[in-house]
A and B are shown apart, each in its own frame.
Chain A
Amino acid sequence: MAKDPLSEAGFYFDELNKLRVLEPDVSQKTSELKEECKEFVDKIGQFQKIVGGLIELVDELAKEAETEKIKAIGARNLLKSVAKQREAQQQQLQALIAEKKMQLERYRIEYEALSKVESEQNEFIDQFILQK
């Protein structure tokens, strides 16, 4: 085909026979690029959204972890103090037990004394009957 004078002048016709100043190839590629760029921007946007969500989530998690941590420390301290409390309670109970033991000992002595009196009296009665 002979050299199109239009082409030389830099004018082209496209498929729809419209006059263009850009080569149809370039034009096509350009529009393709534009499409791709648009796609890329969309994807990046999506990615940012996802990452943002993730960060938020992680932040939340961190906060929760923090509170749990503090809770755990509190619980641990409480546990320690409970042990101490129990110790104090135990001490108190021990004191009360000691008191009761002393009381029991007193009762035991009283019981022994009474048993002795009983046996003495029985002995006396036996003797009395025997002699009569």
Chain B
Amino acid sequence: MLVVKERLFHPLLLSPKPRLIYRGSRANIHDETENMALKGTKTYPCCFKDRSHEELVSCVGWTTADELYSCSEDHQILKWNLLSSETSLVVKLPEEIYPIDLHWFPKTVGVKKQTQAEVFVLTSSDGKFHLVSKIGRIEKSVEAHNGAVLAGRWNYDGTALITAGEDGQIKIWSKSGMLRSTLTSQGSPVYSVAWGPDSDRILYTSGKQLVIKPLQPSAKVLQWKAHDGIILKVDWNSVNDFILSGAEDCKYKVWDSFGRLLYSSSSHDYPVTSVSWAPDGEVFAMGSFNTLRLCDKTGWSYALEKPNTGSVFTISWSADGTQLAGACGNGHVIFAHVVEQHWEWKNFVVTLTKRRTMQVRNVTNDAVDILEFRDRVIKASLAYGHLVVATSLQCYVYNSRNWNTPLIFELKEGTVSLIQQAEKHFLLVDGAGLYMFSYEGQLISSPKFPGMRADILNAQGVSLSNDTIAIRDKRDEKVILLFDALTGKALSDGKPLTHKLEVVEIALDQCGPSTERKIALIDKNRDLYLTSVRHLGREPKICKIGSMVHSMAWNDTANILCGIQDSQFTVWYYPSAVFTDKELLPKTLYIKDGSEFSRAPHILSYVGTMVTLRQGDGSLVYSSVPPYSTVLHEYSTSARWEDALRLCRFAKDQSLWACLAAMSLANRELTTAEMAYAAIGELPRVQYIKRIKEQPSKESSLAHMLLFSGQVKEAEATLLQAGLIYRAIQVNIDLFNWERALELAVKHKTHVDTVLAYREKFLKKFGRKETNKRFLQYAEGVEVDWEKIQAKIEMELSKEREKAANASVRSSVAARR
């Protein structure tokens, strides 16, 4: 019957208005009309007239995005073609084979194409598994278990097959069906197994418990009680590393790979018979008796459908993640499409109304544009005034000023898994690689790196700005790979950024010159760090700017960072303050109590002054940030310090003053910095700035500025480079860094007596004796005479002043010429 019904699923992104279009199977047109009337709304003209199953359908599997194989207890394997709406019999299995599970051999192995003819594994109730070719020929049958084989899964690269049986054993087989090992054996049947993201661990059910077992025999096994009833189905997503389980206690749950519970559903009316992740890990589907549900990865439900299907035993997503098929207990095969996805940017709202149609609404004047596509829409992204839509064959780029004439170019590989946008260009990720395109449709670059697995990249692991691409390395999650966006070459001679802990999330800032590009990263301990991306020579400092940060986002127009810190919503008005004046950073924060956001909010976007968050229950909430900081950033980048001061005086906000202080200091704008520091009552700093201003030469004031931001080594190097040996020594003396001072003095054969004199004075003050051997050694040969020293210092200073004056005259003369 063609159960054409409507209602959509809607994964990801803003405003949850979920619907799922689905259509069932079975050739009966009368039923079709009847069901159409039942749900009203739109219909899908799709009838499968030729054949259908007479018995319970046990398993389904996609070959391409439009072709599905299904197996039933009536011993038939049917092929469903969605384009022609035809069903054909692939093969009628022998009477003794009752199929239970099928899984297609994975299609692509790494980058190179799989050449082998397509086969799938079919497990059956007589304890065998069969390797079946696409035309339905049973290539091989292997006796595997006592009792039924309940599950059979290929690993991600197709090198191993795992089977689980009613006898409680789990066995690993080679590609050709040779037994490699029996991984485990337990007293109760194993109903479901799943491979871990790297194919190095497996997850299986053991009654009410879930078990994660690494393939290496010595590694630790993780086991926990997951449900109050027998667990029927599990799935493990390779992109987000989350685990799904559905059980006879009528609940489904989401876990992370450490076995921590992320979500537990309320109790349903019937046992949960199937769960399945969409390939991109953003959504998952759950099946139960007469029930089909689409849920977000955080567990809350987008859409619920009550089709007349009986229990849904298996759910399988097509590779592009736009549609799914379910094997139903009453002999139907149900097809469902994800539509009604939703994107918002400023005043535009884009909705995927049908599989090939989008509606664009301009909220300010209620103008509606309808965008039609030739093929199914797979992914889309709306930001920076551009809408990028990837269909199965083409990519469409729309400008928000003109919705009529998109720019269209062909895509090489079908399934785009991720789109990231920056102001000037965007990044497409598909199974084969990463591609940077300009909004004019030109391919700019295509970064490559060893061990690249583009198919498992997600939005947390990739960040894009106008000039830089950052990618978290999947093989070693402490490492962040950085690429130049325009050339696709690795930055800083291919040396990646390495953090001390595993990185969870990365984000590049979007504004300012490329030399000052910063990257914010959250590590496993949920600490937020900031570091610069482009650097010459020295290792960049990775500075911590927050802790217990769960989610973050950069602003699109200024380098302002917002995040959820512990339970507070925090905005870092000027995160780079950490590089100039670390202690100023806490003063530049804008903190809002997070209690208004319930459970686990996640930041979706920070556009203009508006932050969009999604709460744990799936509702969207918004928060506005005062606009002054954005304006201040503008003034600072265009060096309009007078305006900046006026703005701060107008806004009367301490955090703004603190921002201005840090900004002006970073730009060496001392007068402004002095006023800003005075406004926030940082008197010692005001004094220090005054001292910097009084420095006789440029080099020494530069050095003092470096000292101000705590970069002692750099300051010393600057002074030594300028030949100001005495000043370098003095810096070390001021910091009580005696050994270094003496070392410098000895090395440059000057001011040894000065160092000794200060040391003596210091020791006397604290009533202590000299114990340092080097000082004792030098003290013998040198006589300390304060008057002489003072004179020497005076001389040095005047020399410096003279030099500086000459330099300025010279430069002004040069300028005049």
Contact = CB atoms under 8 A, between A and B. Distances in A.
Interface of A: 91-92, 95-96, 99, 102-103, 105-107, 109-110, 113-114, 116-117, 120-121, 124, 131
Contact of A105 (B301, B610, B619, B622): B619
Contacts of B617: 102, 105-106, 109
Contacts of A99: 301, 303-304
A95 B306 contact: yes
Contacts of A109: 615, 617, 619-621
A110 B269 contact: no
Instruction: Give the interface centre of A96, A109, A116, A124 by most chain B CB atoms within 10 Å.
Output: A109
B624 A106 contact: no
B301 A106 contact: no
A110 B619 contact: yes
A45 B304 CA distance: 78
A121 B619 CA distance: 22
Given A103-B16, A113-B622, A120-B624, 7 more contacts: A91-B269, A99-B304, A102-B618, A106-B619, A110-B15, A113-B596, A116-B596
A117 B613 CA distance: 13
B646 to A, nearest CB: 12
Contact of B650 (A105, A106, A131): A131
B623 interface: yes
Nearest to B615: A109
B6 to A, nearest CB: 13
Contacts of B300: 102
A67 to B, nearest CB: 30
A27 B291 CA distance: 100
A117 B608 CA distance: 13
Given A109-B619, A110-B619, A114-B622, A96 B306 contact: yes
B290 interface: yes
Given A106-B16, A109-B615, A95 B622 contact: no
A110 B621 contact: yes
A117 B623 contact: yes
27 contacts: A92-B306, A95-B306, A99-B303, A102-B301, A102-B617, A102-B618, A103-B16, A105-B617, A106-B16, A106-B617, A106-B618, A106-B619, A106-B620, A107-B619, A109-B615, A109-B619, A110-B619, A110-B620, A110-B621, A110-B622, A113-B596, A113-B621, A113-B623, A117-B622, A117-B623, A120-B624, A121-B624
Contacts, number: 54
A36 B798 CA distance: 173
Interface string B288-307: 00110000000011011010
B256 to A, nearest CB: 24
A132 B597 CA distance: 34
Nearest to A99: B304
B626 interface: yes
Contacts of A96: 304, 306
Given A106-B619, A109-B615, A110-B619, A117 B304 contact: no
Contacts of B303: 99
Interface in B354-399: none
Instruction: Give the interface centre of B17, B290, B304, B623 by most chain A CB atoms within 10 Å.
Output: B304
A85 to B, nearest CB: 12
Contacts of B596: 113, 116
Interface in B596-636: 596, 610, 615, 617-624, 626-627
Q: Which 6 A-B pairs have the closest CB atoms?
A: A106-B619, A113-B621, A109-B619, A99-B304, A92-B306, A110-B620
B619 A117 contact: no
Interface string B442-474: 000000000000000000000000000000000
Contacts of B15: 110
Contacts of B626: 124
Nearest to B17: A103
Nearest to B610: A117
Contacts of B18: 103
Main secondary structure of the interface of A (DSSP, over half): helix
B598 to A, nearest CB: 8
Contacts of A114: 622
A129 to B, nearest CB: 13
Nearest to B620: A110
B621 A95 contact: no
A49 B300 CA distance: 81
Contacts of B291: 95
A108 B15 CA distance: 12
A10 B512 CA distance: 162
Instruction: Give the interface centre of A91, A96, A110, A124 by most chain B CB atoms within 10 Å.
Output: A110
A68 B415 CA distance: 64
Contacts of B17: 103
Nearest to A107: B619
A105 B17 CA distance: 12
A116 B569 CA distance: 15
A44 B387 CA distance: 104
A83 B144 CA distance: 47
Nearest to A112: B621
A47 B42 CA distance: 73
A42 to B, nearest CB: 65
Nearest to B291: A95
Contact of A92 (B290, B615, B620): B290
Nearest to A120: B624
A128 B380 CA distance: 39
Nearest to B306: A92
Nearest to A131: B650
Interface string B580-609: 000000000000000010000000000000
A104 to B, nearest CB: 10
A76 B626 CA distance: 70
Contacts of B269: 91, 95
A131 B303 CA distance: 49
Contacts of A103: 16-18
A106 B296 CA distance: 14
Instruction: Give the interface centre of B300, B596, B624 by most chain A CB atoms within 10 Å.
Output: B624
Contacts of A102: 300-301, 617-618
A131 B650 CA distance: 8
B304 A95 contact: yes
Contacts of B16: 103, 106
B9 to A, nearest CB: 12
A116 B16 CA distance: 20
A9 B290 CA distance: 111
A110 B619 CA distance: 6
Interface string B16-41: 11100000000000000000000000
A87 B477 CA distance: 53
Contacts of A113: 596, 620-623
B477 to A, nearest CB: 33
A122 to B, nearest CB: 11
A95 B620 CA distance: 23
Nearest to B290: A92
B590 to A, nearest CB: 13
Contacts of A92: 290, 306
A94 to B, nearest CB: 9
Interface in B247-284: 269
A43 to B, nearest CB: 64
A113 B621 CA distance: 5
A117 B306 contact: no
B12 to A, nearest CB: 15
Contacts of B623: 113, 117
A6 B623 CA distance: 148
Nearest to B308: A92
Nearest to A105: B619
A113 B299 CA distance: 22
Contacts of B290: 92
Contacts of A121: 624
Nearest to A113: B621
A84 to B, nearest CB: 14
Nearest to A93: B306
Contacts of A116: 596, 622
Interface in B397-438: none
B111 to A, nearest CB: 41
